[in-house]
Amino acid sequence: MKLKVLVILGPTSSGKSALAVELASKFNGEVISADSRQVYRGLTIGTGKITKREMKGVPHHLLDVASPKRKFSADDYIRHARAAIQDISSRGKLPIVAGGTGFYIDALVGRISLPNVPPNPAFRRIHNNSTTVELLCMLEKSDPERAKTIEPNNKRRLIRALEIALALGKNPAPKSTLEYDVLWVGIDPPMKDLEKKITLRLLARIKQGMVREAKRLHADGLSYKRMDELGLEYRSLTRLLQGQTTRPQMIEELNRAIRKYAIRQIRYWKRNKEIQWLEKPNVQTISKKIRALLGTENS
C-alpha cells in the first residue's frame, strides 16, 4: 500500500503554515516544509519561516538543513523529504507537506519526474552574462509551458530549465501515477485579500529586522552574488545594501514582486485538478476528507 500524505499548498501569505500546524495537531501529524529557501539556515525573516511558537509543538522537517552558501537542489530536497515521509509514517503519524514551491512538491510525490539531464558547462558559460529577461524569452520559445510557471527573476532556474529543454525538447510533464496516496488541499483567497496580507506581512518582516538579517548573512560570508541568487526578498535586500536602491523603493518593488510571484504560484497549481481549494484555511471543511484518506471516516 502507498503511504498516505496530506499536501497543503497555496500562494505566499495564504495561511498554509498555520493550517498545517492545526491539522497536524488534530490528526497526529508532522509537517514537512516545501519551500526552496526555507531549507537554508539563517534565511528566517526574509523567507517568513515559521517560528517555534507558531509550531505549537508540532515537529517540522526540512527547515534549516543547508548552508545558504551552497545550492540545495530539487534532488537534495526529494531525498530528504522522502526520508522524512518514511520516518513519520513508520511512527504511525501523518506526513503533512506544506509549502509553495510547486516543482518541489510535484517532484516529491512523483507527479513529475526529475529529468536525468546533467549540467551543460558550455551552455552555462555562454549564457552566464545573459539577463533574466533574455533567458525567459528563450524559454518562452523553447518550452512555453515551463515559461508560464517559472520564477522569471531566478537566473539559476531559468538556465536549468533551458538546459532541460535543450536536451529533452521540453521540461517534464505531469505523470498519471504518484508515489503516495495524496490528499491535495489548496488555499486560494480572493486576490484583494491576498494582496493586503502580502503587504502587511512584508511590512511586519521589515519591522522584525529583515534588513539586519541580510547584513548579518553578508557579514558571515554570504556573498552579494549568492544572496541575489536566492531571489525575491534577498535580491531586493542585496540591492539595498549595495546602495542601488532606497528603503522605500525596495519596499514598493518587493511588494509588487511578491504579488506577481503569488499569481504565478496559483497559476502553477491550477493545472492540478486533484486539488481541493479553500478560500480560507478551514479545518472543519477539510477534516472529513482527511478522515477518508486515513480510513477513519466513522471514528
CA distance 108 to 106: 5
pLDDT tens profile 113-136: 877 788 889 999 999 889 999 999
264: left (phi over 0), alpha (psi -120 to 50) or beta: alpha
Whether residue 154 is predicted with pLDDT greater than 90 in this model: the reply is no
pLDDT tens profile 216-258: 999 999 999 999 999 899 999 999 999 999 999 999 999 999 9
CA distance 95 to 6: 6
pLDDT tens profile 11-52: 999 999 999 999 999 999 999 999 999 999 999 999 999 999
**According to DSSP H, which parts of 91-222 are helical?**
102-109, 121-127, 132-142, 144-149, 155-168, 191-208, 210-219
Local structure of 13: helix, strand or coil: coil
Whether residue 6 is predicted with pLDDT greater than 60 in this model: the reply is yes
Cell 519591522 belongs to residue: 207
Residue type, 181: D
Nine-digit cell at 116? Answer: 536525468
> With bands split at pLDDT 50, 70 and 90, how would you rate the model's confidence at 176?
low
CA distances from 142 to 75, 146, 161 (A): 24, 9, 10
Check residue 114 and give its pLDDT.
79
> With bands split at pLDDT 50, 70 and 90, how would you rate the model's confidence at 204?
very high
Number of C-beta neighbours around residue 152 at 10 A:
18
Q: String of b and e for 157-186 (b: at least 16 CB within 10 Å)?
A: bbbbbbbbbeeeeebbeeeeebbbebbbbb
Note the pTM of the prediction, 2 decimals: 0.86
- Answer whether 117's CB lies under 8 Å from 164's CB: yes
Check residue 174 and give its pLDDT.
67
Domains along the sequence of the chain with CATH: 4-114+172-294 (3.40.50.300), 115-171 (1.10.20.140)
